Amino acid sequence: MKLGFLTACLPGRSLEEIVRWASQHHFEALEVAAWPDLGNRPFTATHVKAEGFGEEDADRVRRLFDEHDLTLSSLAFYDNNLHPDPDERRGVNDHVMALIDVAALVGCPTVGTFVGRDPGMSVAENLRAAEKLFPRLVDHAGERGVKLVIENCVMEGWHPDGYPGNLAYSPELWEWMFDLGLFLNYDPSHLLWMGIDPVEAVRPYVDKVAHAQAKDIQIFPEKRNRYGWPGIAVGREDPWDVGWWRYRVPGLGQVDWVRVVDVLYEGGFDGVLSVEHEDPVWGGSEARIETGLEVAHRTLRPLIVA
- What phi and psi values does residue 110 have, to the nearest 5 degrees? -140, 155
Per-residue pLDDT of the chain (306 residues; tens, 9 = 90+): 999 999 999 999 999 999 999 999 999 999 999 999 866 677 799 999 999 999 999 999 999 999 999 999 999 999 999 999 999 999 999 999 999 999 999 999 999 999 999 999 999 999 999 999 999 999 999 999 999 999 999 999 999 999 999 999 999 999 999 999 999 999 999 999 999 999 999 999 999 999 999 999 999 999 999 999 999 999 899 999 999 999 999 999 999 999 999 999 999 999 999 999 999 999 999 999 999 999 999 999 999 986
Q: What's the sign of the alpha-carbon dihedral 198, 303, 205, 267? A: negative
Question: Quick one: pLDDT at residue 43?
Answer: 78
The number of distinct structural domains making up the chain is 1
Domain that holds residue 216: 2-303
Question: Quick one: pLDDT at residue 37?
Answer: 80
| CB of 174 closer than 8 Å to CB of 152 | yes
CATH code assigned at 187: 3.20.20.150
Chain centroid to Cα 272, Å, comes to 12
Question: Quick one: pLDDT at residue 40?
Answer: 63
The model's pTM is: 0.97
Chain centroid to Cα 143, Å, comes to 23
Closest CA to 218 of 280, 150, 285, 151: 280
How far, CA to CA in Å, does 150 sit from each of 115, 167, 297? 7, 10, 24
Q: What's the sign of the alpha-carbon dihedral 223, 226, 230, 236? A: negative
Question: Quick one: pLDDT at residue 157?
Answer: 94
Sequence-separated contacts (24+) of 281-289 with Cβ below 8 Å: 281/248, 281/252, 282/249, 283/9, 286/10, 286/12, 286/13, 289/9, 289/10
* The 3-state secondary structure of the chain, one letter per residue: CEEEEEHHHCCCCCHHHHHHHHHHCCCCEEEEEECCCCCCCCCCCECCCCCCCCHHHHHHHHHHHHHCCCEEEEEECCCCCCCCCHHHHHHHHHHHHHHHHHHHHHCCCEEEECCCCCCCCCHHHHHHHHHHHHHHHHHHHHHCCCEEEEECCCCHHHCCCCCCCCCCCCHHHHHHHHHCCCEEEECHHHHHHCCCCHHHHHHHHHHHEEEEEECEEEECHHHHHHHCCCCCCCCCCCCCCCCCEEEECCCCCCCCHHHHHHHHHHCCCCCEEEECCCCCCCCCCHHHHHHHHHHHHHHHHHHCCC
